[in-house]
Amino acid sequence: MNFLALKRFCQECGHVLNGRRDQKYCSDQCRNTYNNRHYSDLLYKNRKINRILHANKLILIELAQSKRKKLPLRTFQEKGFQFEFHTHTRISKAGQTIFYCYDYGYLRINEDYYLIIHEE
């Protein structure tokens, strides 16, 4: 039997592992380094999307301060609002779709106007 075939190596640094059979890393530092790198790659896109969602929410908060109930589409566009990003949707009693960025939502009234909704 080949002696090297029985050796196990750290997934991060490659050092020979001595100990439990299910051991994957030689130290807590190697485990943390591996997991930090692995999850940072996985979560990069999520962080980018969360920044967009947060920016959309801030725009909705700012626009909700307006005394006008209906706001034109161009107002959203000028602020940089990205309509394709939202956290969830709900259907109003009238059957219209309300799009939300966390607790602030917007309802399309017609082609040119939107209504901002704050759900507390």
pLDDT tens per residue, range 45-94? 888 999 999 999 999 999 999 878 789 999 999 999 999 999 999 999 99
| Predicted local confidence at residue 5, as pLDDT | 57
Residue 1 inside a domain? The answer is no
Residue 67 inside a domain? The answer is yes
Q: For residues 94-102, give the mean pLDDT.
A: 95
Residue 68 inside a domain? The answer is yes
Q: What percent of the chain has pLDDT over 70?
A: 96
Residue 48 inside a domain? The answer is yes
Q: Which domain holds residue 44?
A: 8-118
Q: How far is CA 18 from CA 7, 13, 76, in A?
A: 9, 14, 60
| Predicted local confidence at residue 46, as pLDDT | 87
Distance of alpha carbon 7 from alpha carbon 90, whole angstroms: 56
| Predicted local confidence at residue 120, as pLDDT | 76
Query: Interior CA angle at 76 toward 93 and 68, to 5°?
Result: 65
| Predicted local confidence at residue 24, as pLDDT | 94
Residue 2 inside a domain? The answer is no
